[in-house]
A and B are shown apart, each in its own frame.
Chain A
Amino acid sequence: MEKLFETLKLAAKTLKANKLRSSLTMLGVIIGVTSVILLVSIGSGLKSYITGQLEDLGSNLLMVMPGEMEMGSESSGSMPGAGMAAPKFTMNHQKELQAKGVNIKRVMAYTENNATLAYAGKKHITQVAGVTYEYPDIRNQKAVLGTFFNVSQQESAKKVVVLGATVAEKLFGSENPVGKKITLSESKFTVLGVLEKKGALGGNDMDNQAFIPVPTALDTFEMDYVLAFWVQAKSKEQVEPAKEEVKKILLRTLKDDEFSVIDTKGLLSMVSQILGTLTVALAGIAGISLLVGGIGIMNIMLVSVMERTKEIGLRKAIGATPKIIMTQFLIESIVLSVGGGLIGIILGFSGSVLINQFFPAIVTVWSILLAFLVSVIIGVVFGVMPAARAARLNPIQALRYE
């Protein structure tokens, strides 16, 4: 124990004597550990944000999307065909689902298109969603100015629009947009209201949208089909029967592979699977820089053994056993890697906290433990070879080395 402590002191002294070299060597591990922690934090932050958003939708919500979508939990997390296939949903489907579904509370058709909105010389390109009058209830998002469109405006395909907060600000600034006429894809639309802010996810502004009735959207963008349906079941318990009902009704007019019905639970597990895979992949890429850092340590340790050949010879001559020499060099490389790891953890942690001000990032305990463990392992693995080389040196030859 006494000897181990002495070796630790010795290692610290040697590393301090070569400050620049030691810190540059550590830098590799620092960068590796910092990026592992940062990327894992961002991945986990993103996951919990999106999961939270989906949970906001409510647990009794179903989505009907075009194309076939595999929901197998054992799948790789990809979405084969989803969104790729051309939608074949019409407003008749919506009416049919609404009328015949016993377990269905309401059905909302949905379209989305990009369009240019213009008002008084100002132009803004944004996403225009075709929705039904139930949208504010389903998304739990109210109009702060004016109102959302009502059922009669929807049925008669009136050219009315409700703006997201960002769109309203871009086009109108501080002016009240309610009642104003704007140009949307070459037609005049009346602004009915402005929705409350929902916030941004990273660079993706959720308030940068405009909403028009679905029939209006089909007219304006000259489409025959809607993109998707959001189906609300009457209760949580009725989600499964509602799902079966939707399938049964749609199968009368559509083929099996032309649509998929997804519940929020399935969507949640799919999203968390995709983001989980993404996080692991990101951590893996960052892990490569850790590996490079480890190789850097090995390189420097080999140089150090070479440089100190004479010193090693002398230590052996005055009684250092191969084991002591081995421990001495091994501890040096472990101090380098663990030191780098600890600094990396501090940087990764504070970096994540900083990033969290702008973008969801959650520091996970497992990423810190993993990063620390990996840096210890790196110190040992990449230190063993140089240390063994030092321990094996023949004292006579080592003493003669110039």
Chain B
Amino acid sequence: MDSLSMPILRDINLTIKKNEFISIVGPSGSGKSTLMHLIGLLDTPTSGRIFLDNENISQLSEERMAKLRNQKIGFVFQTFNLIPRTSALANVELPLIYAGVPDEQRKERALKMLQAMGLGERVNHFPNQLSGGEQQRVAIARALINNPSLILADEPTGNLDSKTGAQIMEILKKLKKDGNTVVLVTHDLEVAKIADRIIKIYDGKII
């Protein structure tokens, strides 16, 4: 990252419980993305400690971080980030390939997950053959496939119209109901209200 001497986040003290649905809200530049990257093991803090399932994850090797991301974190992005020219099924299978799950089992699990997302008919479509809502549902299926401890959704409705956005929100709510832990990052307070708890962040501090 940019080597700014100014800290992006300060005095953050945050605990997310199992099966909690929280949202992190703040304007752009507030530090909410950095907070999400730290929680999601994409970045390491300059100081302070972060625990995930009681493991200190603040100073790990890149290999270990990649492994933990694979097993414990499910990312959902604003821009979906599906791999182009690759079927929905193969996209969902991807985390399982990195987890070393054998071929047969992978296909079966990915197919089940896509069916659960209501995409049973679209498994062999390429991302550019799917609507925005469908692409985001594929991305959610991919995030869930490895039974992660934490689902991190970064502005998941940002690229969708309000109707499709609402559908995605319903899915997130259902995920929580099914026992998942969900962290929703957004700049939109209206969207954030869907969560059980709202963390407001401004200028690098929780307020």
* Chain A interfacial positions (CB closer than 8 Å to B): 2-3, 6, 13, 17, 310-311, 313-324, 394-397, 399
Contact = CB atoms under 8 A, between A and B. Distances in A.
Contacts of A321: 62-63, 66-67, 98
A6 to B, nearest CB: 5
B69 interface: yes
Nearest to A391: B62
22 contacts: A310-B81, A311-B83, A311-B84, A315-B94, A315-B98, A316-B69, A317-B69, A318-B75, A318-B142, A319-B67, A319-B69, A319-B70, A319-B98, A319-B146, A320-B66, A320-B98, A321-B67, A321-B98, A323-B63, A396-B37, A397-B1, A399-B77
A17 B70 contact: no
A317 B66 CA distance: 7
A395 B98 contact: no
A136 B123 CA distance: 84
A399 B98 contact: no
Interface in B97-135: 97-100, 102
Contacts of A396: 1, 37, 42-43
A399 B102 CA distance: 28
B83 A6 contact: no
B95 interface: yes
B71 interface: yes
Q: How large is the interface on B (under 10, 10 to 19, 20 to 34, 35 or more residues)?
A: 20 to 34
A17 B75 contact: no
B97 A317 contact: no
A322 B66 contact: yes
Nearest to B145: A318
Contacts of B95: 318-319
Given A6-B97, A317-B75, 13 more contacts: A2-B100, A311-B84, A314-B77, A317-B42, A318-B75, A318-B98, A319-B67, A319-B70, A319-B98, A321-B62, A321-B98, A322-B62, A395-B42
Interface string B1-34: 1000000000000000000000000000000000
Interface in B141-159: 142, 146
Interface of B: 1, 37, 40, 42-43, 62-63, 66-67, 69-71, 75, 77, 81, 83-86, 94-95, 97-100, 102, 142, 146
A3 B100 contact: yes
A397 B66 CA distance: 16
A3 B69 contact: no
A311 B102 CA distance: 23
Contacts of A399: 77, 81
The 7 closest A-B pairs by CB, nearest first: A319-B70, A319-B98, A321-B66, A314-B81, A318-B95, A321-B63, A17-B85
Main secondary structure of the interface of A (DSSP, over half): helix
A318 B80 CA distance: 13
A27 B4 CA distance: 46
B3 to A, nearest CB: 12
Contact of A314 (B40, B67, B83): B83
A321 B61 CA distance: 10
B175 to A, nearest CB: 17
A394 B62 CA distance: 10
Contacts of B94: 315, 318
A2 B142 CA distance: 20
A42 B146 CA distance: 59
B73 to A, nearest CB: 8
Contacts of A394: 1
A2 B102 contact: yes
A321 B142 CA distance: 18
A319 B97 CA distance: 9
A322 B71 contact: no
Q: Which of A314, A324, A399 has the most CB of B within 10 A?
A: A314
Contacts of B42: 317, 395-396
Given A3-B97, A394-B1, A316 B66 contact: yes
A305 to B, nearest CB: 15
A319 B63 contact: no
Contacts of A319: 66-67, 69-71, 95, 98-99, 146
Contacts of A323: 63
A2 B81 CA distance: 25
Nearest to B40: A317
Contacts of B66: 316, 319-322, 324
B188 to A, nearest CB: 20
Nearest to B152: A317
B98 to A, nearest CB: 4
Q: Which of B86, B97, B102 has the most CB of A within 10 A?
A: B97
A2 B103 CA distance: 9
A324 B83 contact: no
Q: Which of B63, B69, B142 has the most CB of A within 10 A?
A: B69
Contacts of A316: 66, 69
Nearest to A325: B66
Contact of A324 (B40, B84, B98, B146): B98
A399 B70 CA distance: 16
Contacts of A318: 69-70, 75, 94-95, 98, 142
